[in-house]
Structure 1
């Protein structure tokens, strides 16, 4: 009968960084995923999770030999057992980007069979005071905060070092109904929007009502600016959380899409049309841009914000379903842009895109493992990775945003005609 290691203290030498905000160590033949450590360090680890398999998880609670990249975390809540929102506050900012670059390169090598040197580029500003959209949970005592790592436990906070200063003032410092959630959005006009989502209700005192049925208080339309346009975004809708991210990604997508007047473009998982607006400017009045998005709310907002672009059409539904339906069968695209959720596009969507043989595919990815799997799927259909850029759009966390350009294998010798690094 196996004995759990939970709460056991072990001393290990920390190995390479792994995807997910931790590093890999080994102890007595088992893999230990260690948070709050850096490669090359020797640390004492408290085991926090052990299901008896080949690996377990733990937190570095004492540093015996420190990495030269280690710094004092600026937030008192970024400690073992506390807030799980930040992964790398104990690393210098250049070291954080190097760790993320190593993760992206490793995922490409392991899942796509590609050896690529990766550089993670910093966005304007620093590693603190950048987050413009925040979701807080309210614990049993009524105080808002963030959840601990891999836990529903709420850690009450009185500030957040990565959030825009002052944005949380309306949410913190008071109590809320336990079990509720708070959404805070700081927009481009320096307005703060606060929405309270009430605690889950129950049917006949038993089963929770699904999330959308939960009571909401507060509303607001946030003003955002990107791609040369002003956007009216629901305060609790999707928008990039780093103030420079949307404009940066739109610029790179535009450079690599390089759609010509009169061409057809697809914007898959298109949200409210940020990339579609760029594509529409490229294809002009004689071209077309088809946006596919599953959120009817996002499409409604997009129709309003892009009402001046009649060449943009909107298709509400899951991307894989729309691509299988009749709406786009007579519109083979010249260029495809896709920005799928964290799980990636998947083999069915990749196959549907590749079957139409676009000359350029621009893939915006928030998860390097999903990106690498989809790049491998594209390779099976005759597309290869021609360009890749990675951005530190989420400093202090393990998240990294990538933009990839894929082209038919035979066309790589013509890339210099239209692509821009």
Structure 2
């Protein structure tokens, strides 16, 4: 069903709000103020609100530009009777307007879910981030929002071609480029390789200049490993290749088996190089580790001799900076739930006597490890779902005076800010970074502090 709609405000999730005969319609691939023809997604007609995608623009916004990626362009896909792939849903909008829309979303979520005035915490705009890592020589790159992804994940069609999914679809669309990916990833030309027998391909291009790491996830019916056919893979010089064996039912991931090179990359964290295995978490934007570390330190303000915690710590990006700040007379508690990633952290800080690495759920492990003792500061960088009520309670019980909260989702961040308020904490400052250009996502760093009295 096609509808003629006038798009109103932006909503969290990358949609614009429109109305049709009193029903709310969430529309992708548009810009507020545009008049469009939007196609309602299949199966939506009986629901309270509808979701739709723009298939034709009747009155375009002055902020509409040529899409940065033809395969993700909804209008181009409509002309060819196809569906656009996901991952660049804001690619038709000028970068300046993308950031203003993200700012609107952040302000709305913070106001509605946390009952907090964005102006009171010093928030003004979403900040652009250079693609440069710790090496400032890269910072001269033009701000076009491209080539920032140091990691990418692809599905594989039955005939072995790299592919991606359209939004909320099981369909596979073969691809032949990825403009948001780092040059080191695109230079592999993996779309020219035959990956038959594999379900998914993950690739990481580390900031240290080390060779990219490929993780190959086989299909359930691929009982015998068969190497992919492709020059980049068969001549595995300069490419690290790892097969991830399928795990048993319910355990999520399997083990890693090295086919060429080592099953990890080294990532830069200030003066340190940290090991991150093929399945481990690392910030996707190439400039994110430096920018987020600087913002975190500005808010957490760790000092020599203090006791601090790094929660959802991953391989230790923030742990590294905290360990250097508190020094040998201080202490850093690193908590991470993923076994492989926690093992990376243990390896990375084996020589740092002030760092204690432990694995477990934050809400339980933090309470057990602190046993009622106070902390000077806490840093947390939870997954997209946020920390949640129980973890916030566990943090509040440490009586930490400063909490630096790093988040990739404005809704879960604002919700958790509300939980912290119930425990006597106030959001004092917040910065929002555009670490995901041409998508609706953003990264937030907030400072929560104990209310006096």
Per the TM superposition, whether the score is higher than 0.5 is: yes
Shift of 1:307: 2.5
* Kept in 2: contact 1:266–1:335 (CA 8 A): yes
- Corresponding position of 1:91: 93
- Corresponding position of 1:404: 446
Q: Which moved more, 1:278-287 or 1:397-406?
A: 278-287
User: Residues 10-29 of structure 1: matches in 2 within 5 Å?
Assistant: 10-29=3-22
User: Residues 11-410 of structure 1: matches in 2 within 5 Å?
Assistant: 11-49=4-42, 50=44, 52-80=46-74, 81-117=83-119, 118=123, 119-125=125-131, 126=143, 127-168=145-186, 169-177=188-196, 180-188=199-207, 189=209, 191-201=211-221, 209-210=249-250, 211-213=252-254, 218=259, 220-325=263-368, 327-410=369-452
State how far apart, in whole Å, the 1-side matches of 2:105 and 2:337 are.
30
Deviations for 1:188-240, whole angstroms, at most 9, x for unmatched residues? 2152221211013599xxx9945423886645321211222112222332111
- Corresponding position of 1:418: none
State how far apart, in whole Å, the 1-side matches of 2:337 and 2:168 are.
28
* Kept in 2: contact 1:137–1:154 (CA 8 A): yes
* Kept in 2: contact 1:342–1:370 (CA 8 A): yes
Deviations for 1:99-133, whole angstroms, at most 9, x for unmatched residues? 11111111001101112144111110430111110
* Kept in 2: contact 1:387–1:406 (CA 8 A): yes
Other structure's SS at 2:346 match = helix
Other structure's SS at 1:180 match = strand
Q: TM-score, normalised by structure 1?
A: 0.90
- Corresponding position of 2:232: none
Q: Which moved more, 1:290-299 or 1:380-389?
A: 290-299
Deviations for 1:40-75, whole angstroms, at most 9, x for unmatched residues? 100000111405122111111111111111101021
Q: Which moved more, 1:175-184 or 1:263-272?
A: 175-184
State how far apart, in whole Å, the 2-side matches of 1:365 and 1:309 are.
27
Q: Which moved more, 1:111-120 or 1:171-180?
A: 171-180
Other structure's SS at 1:289 match = strand
The CA RMSD over aligned residues, in Å, is 2.0
State how far apart, in whole Å, the 2-side matches of 1:172 and 1:215 are.
23
Other structure's SS at 2:296 match = helix
State how far apart, in whole Å, the 1-side matches of 2:72 and 2:378 are.
40
* Kept in 2: contact 1:21–1:88 (CA 8 A): yes
Q: TM-score, normalised by structure 2?
A: 0.84
Deviations for 1:248-283, whole angstroms, at most 9, x for unmatched residues? 111111121112222110111111121112112222
Other structure's SS at 2:370 match = coil
How many residue pairs were aligned?
400
State how far apart, in whole Å, the 2-side matches of 1:35 and 1:400 are.
17
Other structure's SS at 1:315 match = strand
**Structure 1, unaligned stretches of length 5 or more?**
1-7, 412-421
**Structure 2, unaligned stretches of length 5 or more?**
75-82, 132-142, 224-246
State how far apart, in whole Å, the 2-side matches of 1:61 and 1:178 are.
35
State how far apart, in whole Å, the 1-side matches of 2:440 and 2:97 are.
12
* Kept in 2: contact 1:25–1:31 (CA 8 A): yes
State how far apart, in whole Å, the 2-side matches of 1:180 and 1:57 are.
29
State how far apart, in whole Å, the 1-side matches of 2:62 and 2:195 are.
42
State how far apart, in whole Å, the 1-side matches of 2:413 and 2:310 are.
17
Shift of 1:181: 0.3
State how far apart, in whole Å, the 2-side matches of 1:100 and 1:331 are.
39
* Kept in 1: contact 2:383–2:408 (CA 8 A): yes
